[in-house]
Amino acid sequence: MRRTPLIAGLGLVVLLAACSDDDDPTGPGPEENPDFTEGTTLDEATGNFMTSLDASNAEDFTGFSFGSQNIVHDLSSVAAADNWDIALSREKVKLNGGASGEGTVEGASLGAVDFASVDAAMADEAEWASDAIEYFMDNWYTYNPTTHQLDMTEYVYSMVDASGDHWVKFRIDALTGAAQGSMGTVEISYFFQSEAGSKSLDGDIQTASIDVGFGVGYFDFSTGQQVMPSDPLTSMEWDLVFTQFTMGMNSGPNGSGECGAFYAYSELDDVTAIEDFTTQPEAPLFTDAPGSVMTEWYDYDGTTHTLNSKDHVYLVRRGDALYKVRIDSYYGSINGQPASAHYTLIWDELD
């Protein structure tokens, strides 16, 4: 491993990407659910609200406002920031704030506590957070808190570039000149497949340096150059971005490109042997994504291929409005058949 010394006190936030979030499990699901009807009802016995949402569209999110109880489909086509608080798409959940939206919604996880016991006083002790980007490629280094060093794993990754047409393999070799708050210069090795659509990655390995420092560094594999796009969110002229000890790609919340990445090292006996990864396999690619405190709301059962709620209770607030929420079920019944991504939320407003 190559080591990059950092001074004591460096604060690093490592956002773990839950790869299983992108597996799109459908599963048989529980068959005892009643016929699915989208909307909100009041449970007279408990005084809690029960909202059913169809979030089966993998291309877009279904939004919900606790205040108005409105359900908003095709969320990406709706410009208003205040018409949703929580949104769901397949197994993904996000809140309207931070990296996910223009609103001010924050969330906090209380874990598997009794729903009825949760009151407004718990908000004072809760750890509140806005949505932040979960970077898929977040394991390219490890941090040693004793020596205050970053150790490069030198893992090999593969991806498609921003155009979606060209395959790349690369490895982060080192950070030079890094210090507290400064990422220094990123040293990489890579191979760019200039033939569109070809998954052959057997060729001469190139090297490049990306100067990041205290700012941001964008890199374009097609030219092998560091670039400075005038509008990174709309530019197709970059593939990777480095800032504050994170590495993102041009897609999802970062930009309008079509980048998607794969853990190429999972195919290798030597996870650092970039020359040995010669062909991109038929495997799913993953992107960076906004992640909320509710991202890991479920357990996945590999035997039954179902998602099961952890029954965690979450606090959600927008301004002075405070709510408690639990995801009760991921499955609904349609024409007698179980359907995934048909959620039931249990929630209530707290005074």
Nearest to 250 by CA among 157, 156, 159, 174: 159
Could you tell me which residues come within 8 angstroms of residue 72 by beta carbon, excluding any fewer than 6 positions away? 62, 63, 64, 65, 78, 83, 84
Query: Region 129-143: what's the mean pLDDT?
Result: 93
Question: Do residues 314 and 50 lie in contact, with contact meaning Cβ atoms separated by under 8 Å?
Answer: no
| b/e sequence 191-223, b meaning 16+ C-beta within 10 Å | bbbeeeeeeebeeeeeebebebeeeebbbbbbe
pTM over 0.85? The answer is no
- Helix (H) / strand (E) element for 286: namely none
Q: Residue 284: its pLDDT value, please?
A: 87
Burial class (CB in 10 A: 0-12, 13-18, 19+), 307: buried
- The number of residues in the chain equals 351
The more confident residue out of 347 and 9 is 347
Could you tell me which residues come within 8 angstroms of residue 224 by beta carbon, excluding any fewer than 6 positions away? 190, 192, 206, 208
Q: What's the one-letter identity of residue 137?
A: M
Query: Region 44-60: what's the mean pLDDT?
Result: 93
| b/e sequence 268-302, b meaning 16+ C-beta within 10 Å | beebbebbebeebeeeebbbbbbbbbbbbbbebee
- The neighbouring-strand residues paired with 30 are none
Q: Residue 80: its pLDDT value, please?
A: 63
Nearest to 205 by CA among 174, 232, 169: 169
Q: What's the rounded Cα separation, in Å, for the pair 206 and 208?
A: 7
Model confidence pLDDT, tens digit, residues 178-233: 988 899 999 999 999 999 999 999 999 999 999 999 999 999 999 999 999 999 99
Query: Region 324-348: what's the mean pLDDT?
Result: 94
pLDDT above 70: residue 11: no
Question: Do residues 122 and 114 lie in contact, with contact meaning Cβ atoms separated by under 8 Å?
Answer: no
pLDDT above 50: residue 5: no
